[in-house]
A = this chain, B = another copy of it.
Amino acid sequence: MFEAKQKDIVKVPDRVKRALKEILGEENCLDDPMDRLLYSYDATRIKMLPELVAIPQNQEQVQKIVQICYEEGVPVTPRGAGSGYTGGALPVKGGVVVSFEKMDRILEIDEDNAVARVQPGVITYRLQKAVEKVGLFYPPDPASYKYCTLGGNVAENAGGPRCVKYGVTREYIMELNTVIHTGEIIHTGRPTLKDVAGYDITRLFIGSEGTLGLFTEITVKLIPKPQAAKTAMAIFSDIAAVGKTVKDIFKAGIQPSALEFMDKLAINAVEDFGHFGLPRDAEVLLLIEVDGHPKALDDQITEVARICERNGAKVSIAKTAKEAEKLWEARRALSPAVSKLGRVKINEDIVFPRSYLPEALPKLREIGKKYNLKMVNFGHIGDGNVHANFMIDGKDQDELKRTEKAVEEVFELALSYGGSITGEHGVGITKAPFMKKQFRPSELEIMRGIKKVFDPKGLINPGKMDID
């Protein structure tokens, strides 16, 4: 699965190239091999070369691209920042990659209704900063938030640390404009908290990985920016105690705004990377944040600390915003730090129902040992979302085979507890072989039926999710 190959590649006929160049201008229609190479990979490091890269600047251009390609039988694969971990933006069948890099305008921040209307190429972080300036808040915060785009976030239903309290991207998308196979725009949703007219096509699009249509405009819900936050760090010598602590925090009626964990290997990788002062001998480290009204926070963080201590942890509460920021910097350094442990990072984002964490976390670690692999576990433990990373060389065939087997066992472990093979990254190419494990044939049939409604010819981001 780590060496997925393109198949049934569709070349782009010259008349289509000419037509697209006419619509977009030469400079926005790339068919030079070097240019195309730049759009041939994502964070999986799998490479799939598009036959042409189209860079629209507005909705009408997207409509025309899709209309022409669809009529001519040319596959169309939408692309945001290419930061995905499952190959969602890769052109399995060649054809045209539609890059949204020039559709990156924040069209409106409507303070009165607490919504923002953006183009799909807007970077998540840019939107967050822009709305924070007027006291509003866009919570979803995938690790790639400084370069990923809203369009990709919608396609993958992106998550992040804050989602444990605030919910995932799905909870913040109010309206979508989506170009469907005919080149028409489907407008779904309303900029209101309630709307129950017709089927919820908006939410069907969210997490559809670009296989149903191309988003051209997104209205997001904003909420008041939390007034304050407090962070605690808890150090555990026993991994099972961590699972219990997580359960206890929620049972005490506390909704943390982040509840992150990293294991020993992760802690040491971060320390090697940036010297943040984390305890190298800790088995597991928890970062816990609570946010909200300043008057409530002291009570809450103290209660969190008490729960951690009761479960055997050493706890320190950040005294200043600066101290807290340093802890979060260490957390954010995880991804680049861990990447140094191996040439290739196989990053699986499984999910467990919270209550099974005490049992599942040690079993997860066993899998790494069994296959003699460098395995780093960290993630959003508050919502049961564990990032199991295998750091490998990527060229050693035996190691690759062991990793494939280990990943399969990781998925089976998550599913055996009623969890999911993916909490944030989506299915794309790399997890497509595992859809059959999570879904029954009748369930996959329904998904394939829906795919056909939106894409009868199978040309919209084909070859993904095992649904075409």
Contact = CB atoms under 8 A, between A and B. Distances in A.
A226 B185 CA distance: 42
B383 A192 contact: yes
Interface stretch (A41-49, A111-119, A274-282, A360-368): A111-119
Interface string A95-123: 00000000000000011111100000000
Given A195-B423, A450-B453, A251 B112 contact: yes
A426 B204 contact: no
A251 to B, nearest CB: 7
A420 B188 CA distance: 11
Contacts of A208: 199-200
A196 interface: yes
Stoichiometry, as copies per complex, reads: 2
B465 A420 contact: no
B201 A446 contact: yes
A193 B383 contact: yes
B295 A299 contact: yes
Contact of A184 (B168, B225, B353, B442): B442
A223 interface: yes
A170 interface: yes
Interface string A427-468: 100010001001110111011011111100000000001010
A17 interface: no
A44 to B, nearest CB: 16
A385 B193 CA distance: 9
A355 B111 CA distance: 9
Interface stretch (A21-29, A159-167, A232-240, A308-316): A159-167
Given A163-B194, A453-B453, 16 more contacts: A112-B247, A114-B354, A157-B196, A159-B194, A159-B196, A170-B200, A190-B420, A192-B423, A193-B385, A196-B427, A197-B435, A198-B439, A199-B467, A203-B203, A293-B295, A446-B453
Which 6 A-B pairs rank lowest in CB-CB distance, beginning with the nearest? A293-B296, A194-B423, A112-B355, A449-B453, A224-B253, A203-B203
